[in-house]
Structure formats: C-alpha cells, structure tokens
C-alpha cells in the first residue's frame, strides 16, 4: 500500500478496521463457544443446568470487558472525528458552490473551475454554499463528506498528501440529475498548481436544467 491520500483516510480506515476486527473476533468466538457448549453440555448426556446467578466474577467480566471495548471504539472514533473537524491554521480557502446539478469552484484570484484543483501538502478549507437545494460534498478517497446548504456556509478541511485525481460526488439526493452530479479533485505539485492558477479560466460546462 502506498501513502494514504490524506491523514483523514488513515485515521478513518483505522477506526473502521479496529471495529470490524473486534466484531469478527467476537462473532467467531461467541459462535464457536456456543457450538462447543451445545455438544459438551448436551442434556441427553446427563448434564443438568447450573444456576450461575450471583456469580460476581462472571458479572464483572461481562460488564468490564464489553465496556472497555466499546469505550475504546468511541475513543478512536472521537479522536478521528476531532481531527477531521480541526480547523487548520492558515488554510488555503477555495469557495465551493453547489447547484442542481454541478459543483463549481472559485479561487482567491477570481479563477473559476468545475474541477477542484489543489496543491499537495497544503491545508485546504472548502467554504461551501448551495444556490438552491441541499447537496453534500463527498470525496470518498479522503473519507470526508459535508452538507452543502442554501443560506448557510459549511466547511471541509483536508490536507492532500498524494498527487492524483480523486472522485467527488454529491451525496444528498438533490433532484433529477443527482446521480450525475460528479466532479474530481486534482491534487497537483505546488508549482503546477500555481501555473494552473495563473491561466485564465475556461468557460464552465453548461449546467443542465429541467426546462
């Protein structure tokens, strides 16, 4: 495996794997124990049920272990969430506008684009607004998603660590062509990004409308 596209990718994947690993171990362990007990303590072999009510050791074990497991899941989930929500100091801000059914991007120098270009190893702040209905800006490879709303600015922060192209999808059903509301993030080396930024904007592709 190469370098993860962002630190968010690493931390979200870690939480995911951690929870899945614990779940698989518990599933296999409990199932195996159940099947073993069905045969070992078969009543036909003369086993009678034993009353375990009031067994302090058992009660402590089955309260303490699951509680620690669940709290550890919460801990890793929460620290990962904090990292995603953490506002970087001095981020590079790009304005994102969502409308039915397209995202567009505007840079500080006035440059506009329908693909999100960003420099690698730079903290990015997406300042997002919708011109119509609710949308959601989703970059699966970066493991981040946020609603894009009318009349309220929302933000997404990330710091790309790998140059490359990554998909962007609208993740909130927003009408007829919602399923076609895709674009890309292109992560470039800083000098390439600066060259791109200085080139004049190309006219944005025409927005599809219903009428």
Nearer to Cu ion, 170 or 188 (CB): 170
What element of type H or E holds 26? helix 7-40
Phi-psi category of 76—alpha, beta or left, where left has phi over 0 and alpha has psi -120 to 50? alpha
* 171 belongs to the binding site for Cu ion (CB under 5 A): no
Pick between residue 174 and residue 185 the one whose CB is nearest to Cu ion.
174
Other Cβ atoms within 10 Å of 125 Cβ, number:
17
Number of residues that bind Cu ion (CB under 5 A): 4
Stretch that binds Cu ion, among 11-19, 79-87, 152-160, 175-183 (CB under 5 A): 175-183
Closer to Cu ion by CB, 199 or 206: give it. 206
Q: Which stretch binds Cu ion (CB under 5 A): 54-62, 65-73, 163-171, 199-207?
A: 163-171
Q: Which of 113, 170, 171, 187 binds Cu ion (CB under 5 A)?
A: 170
Asked if residue 168 binds Cu ion (CB under 5 A), the reply is no
Based on the shown chain and the rule CB under 5 A, indicate whether residue 181 belongs to the binding site for Cu ion: yes
Residues 58 and 74: their CA atoms lie apart, in Å, by 24
User: Of 145, 188, 193, 181, whose CA–CA distance to 165 is shortest?
Assistant: 188
Instruction: Select from 84, 174, 187, 188 the one that contacts Cu ion (CB under 5 A).
Output: 174
Q: Which of residues 93-152 bind Cu ion (CB under 5 A)?
A: 135
Within residues 27-66, the interface with Cu ion by CB under 5 A covers none
**168 or 181: CB nearest Cu ion:** 181
CB of 178 to Cu ion, least distance (A): 5
Place of tokens 């518990």: 26
Q: In what order do the strands lie in the sheet with 135-139?
A: 116-119, 182-188, 164-170, 135-139, 144-148
Of 2, 22, 137, give the one whose Cα is nearest residue 76: 22
> Closest approach of Cβ 209 to Cu ion, in Å?
14
Under 8 Å between Cβ of 143 and 9 = yes
Could you tell me the smallest distance in angstroms from the CB atom of residue 20 to Cu ion?
30
Q: How far, in Å, are 31, 33, 51, 175 from residue 43 at the CA level?
A: 19, 17, 15, 61
Among the residue ranges 1-9, 139-147, 177-185, 202-210, the one whose residues contact Cu ion (CB under 5 A): 177-185
Q: Give contact residues for Cu ion (rule: CB under 5 A).
A: 135, 170, 174, 181
């Amino acid at each position: 495996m190469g370098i993860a596209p962002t630190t968010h990718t690493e931390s979200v994947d870690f939480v995911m794997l951690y929870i899945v690993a614990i779940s698989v171990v518990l599933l296999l362990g409990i199932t195996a124990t159940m099947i073993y007990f069905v045969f070992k303590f078969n009543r036909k072999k003369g086993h009678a049920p034993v009353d375990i009510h009031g067994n302090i050791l058992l009660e402590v074990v089955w309260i303490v272990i699951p509680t620690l497991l669940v709290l550890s899941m919460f801990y890793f989930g929460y620290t990962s969430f904090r990292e995603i929500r953490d506002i970087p100091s001095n981020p590079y801000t790009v304005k994102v506008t969502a409308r039915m059914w397209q995202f567009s991007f505007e840079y500080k120098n006035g440059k506009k684009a329908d693909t999100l270009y960003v420099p690698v190893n730079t903290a990015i702040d997406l300042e997002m607004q919708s011109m119509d209905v609710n949308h959601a800006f989703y970059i699966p490879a970066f493991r981040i998603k946020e609603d894009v709303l009318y009349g309220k600015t929302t933000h997404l922060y990330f710091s790309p660590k790998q140059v490359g192209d990554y998909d962007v999808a609208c993740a909130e059903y927003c009408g007829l062509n919602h399923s076609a509301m895709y674009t890309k993030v292109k992560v470039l080396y800083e000098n390439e990004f600066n060259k791109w930024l200085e080139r004049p904007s190309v006219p944005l592709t025409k927005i599809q409308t219903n009428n």
